[in-house]
A and B are shown apart, each in its own frame.
Chain A
Amino acid sequence: MKSKLRLLLIDNAVVLLFVAIIAVAIPISAMPLKYLAQEILTRLGRNAFLVLALLLPVMAGMGLNFGMVLGAMAGQIGLILVTDWNVVGISGVMLAAIISTPVALGLGWVCGQVLNRAKGREMVTGYILGFFMNGIYQLLVLYAMGMLIPIATPGILLSRGYGIRNMVDLIGVRQSLDKLLVVTVAGLKLPVATYLVIAAMCAFIVWFRGTKLGQDMRAVGQDRAVATASGIPVERTRIMAIMISTLLACYGQIIFLQNLGTLNTYNSHEQTGMFSIAALLIGGASVSRASIPNVIAGVVLFHLMFVVSPIAGKNLIGSAQLGEFFRQFISYGIIAVSLVLFSWKRKADVAASREALRGGSAPASGPSKGGRA
Chain B
Amino acid sequence: MIRRRLVARSILAASIAALAVLLFVRGKGHILYLDTNAVELGERRLRAPELSAVFVDGKDAGEMGRAERVIAEVAGPRHEIRVEPLSGEGEAAARSLKLPAAWTEIVISIPALLAGEADELVVTRFAAPPESAESEPNSFQQDESEVIPLAQ
A: residues with CB less than 8 A from B are 85-92, 94-95, 98-99, 101, 152, 172
How many residues in B have their beta carbons less than 8 Å from beta carbons of A? Answer: 12
**Is A88's CB under 8 angstroms from B29's CB?**
yes
**Is B27's CB under 8 angstroms from A91's CB?**
yes
Return chain B residues, CB-CB under 8 Å to A95: 20, 23-24, 27
Return chain A residues, CB-CB under 8 Å to B26: 91
- CA distance in complex: A305, B91 (Å): 63
Within the complex, which residue of A91, A98, A99 is in contact with B75, where a contact is CB–CB below 8 Å? A91
Main secondary structure of the interface of B (DSSP, over half): helix
**B19 on the A face (CB < 8 A):** yes
**Is A86's CB under 8 angstroms from B28's CB?**
yes
Return chain B residues, CB-CB under 8 Å to A86: 28-30, 104
Give 16 pairs: A residue, B residue, CB < 8 Å, sorted on A: A85-B24, A86-B30, A87-B28, A88-B27, A88-B28, A88-B75, A89-B27, A91-B23, A91-B24, A91-B27, A94-B27, A95-B24, A98-B20, A98-B23, A99-B20, A172-B29
Shortest Cβ distance from B98 into chain A, in angstroms?
17
Shortest Cβ distance from B16 into chain A, in angstroms?
6
Instruction: Report B1-52 residues with CB < 8 Å from chain A CB.
Output: 16, 19-20, 23-24, 26-30
Which residue in chain B gives the minimum CB-CB distance to A84? B104
Which residue in chain A gives the minimum CB-CB distance to B30? A86
Which residue in chain B gives the minimum CB-CB distance to A87? B27
Return chain A residues, CB-CB under 8 Å to B24: 85, 87, 91, 95
Shortest Cβ distance from B48 into chain A, in angstroms?
28
- CA distance in complex: A89, B27 (Å): 7
Within the complex, which residue of A94, A101, A152, A172 is in contact with B23, where a contact is CB–CB below 8 Å? A94
**Is B28's CB under 8 angstroms from A85's CB?**
yes
Return chain B residues, CB-CB under 8 Å to A172: 29
- CA distance in complex: A172, B30 (Å): 11
Shortest Cβ distance from A14 into chain B, in angstroms?
41
**Is B23's CB under 8 angstroms from A87's CB?**
yes
Shortest Cβ distance from A109 into chain B, in angstroms?
16
**Is A92's CB under 8 angstroms from B20's CB?**
no
Shortest Cβ distance from B140 into chain A, in angstroms?
18
**Is A98's CB under 8 angstroms from B29's CB?**
no
Shortest Cβ distance from B50 into chain A, in angstroms?
34
Q: Given A88-B29, A90-B27, 16 other A-B contacts at CB below 8 A?
A: A85-B24, A85-B28, A86-B28, A87-B23, A87-B24, A87-B28, A88-B27, A88-B75, A89-B27, A89-B75, A91-B23, A91-B27, A92-B23, A95-B20, A98-B23, A101-B16
Return chain A residues, CB-CB under 8 Å to B29: 86-88, 172
- CA distance in complex: A88, B101 (Å): 13
- CA distance in complex: A86, B29 (Å): 5
- CA distance in complex: A197, B122 (Å): 42
Shortest Cβ distance from B125 into chain A, in angstroms?
13
Return chain A residues, CB-CB under 8 Å to B16: 98, 101
Return chain A residues, CB-CB under 8 Å to B104: 86, 152
- CA distance in complex: A98, B115 (Å): 43
Shortest Cβ distance from A179 into chain B, in angstroms?
14
- CA distance in complex: A55, B29 (Å): 37
Which residue in chain B gives the minimum CB-CB distance to A83? B29
Return chain B residues, CB-CB under 8 Å to A98: 16, 19-20, 23
Taking each of B24, B29, B75, which has the highest tally of chain A beta carbons within 10 Å of its own beta carbon?
B29
Return chain A residues, CB-CB under 8 Å to B27: 87-92, 94-95
Return chain B residues, CB-CB under 8 Å to A152: 104
Taking each of A91, A99, A172, which has the highest tally of chain B beta carbons within 10 Å of its own beta carbon?
A91
Return chain B residues, CB-CB under 8 Å to A90: 27
A-B pairs with lowest CB-CB distance, top 5: A91-B27, A88-B29, A87-B27, A86-B29, A95-B23
Which residue in chain A gives the minimum CB-CB distance to B19? A98
- CA distance in complex: A152, B128 (Å): 14
- CA distance in complex: A85, B19 (Å): 16
Shortest Cβ distance from A89 into chain B, in angstroms?
6
Return chain B residues, CB-CB under 8 Å to A92: 23, 27
- CA distance in complex: A90, B27 (Å): 8
Shortest Cβ distance from B103 into chain A, in angstroms?
10
- CA distance in complex: A66, B35 (Å): 53
Return chain B residues, CB-CB under 8 Å to A94: 19, 23, 27
Return chain A residues, CB-CB under 8 Å to B28: 85-88
- CA distance in complex: A373, B26 (Å): 38
- CA distance in complex: A85, B24 (Å): 8
Return chain A residues, CB-CB under 8 Å to B23: 87, 91-92, 94-95, 98
Shortest Cβ distance from A247 into chain B, in angstroms?
13
Return chain B residues, CB-CB under 8 Å to A89: 27, 75
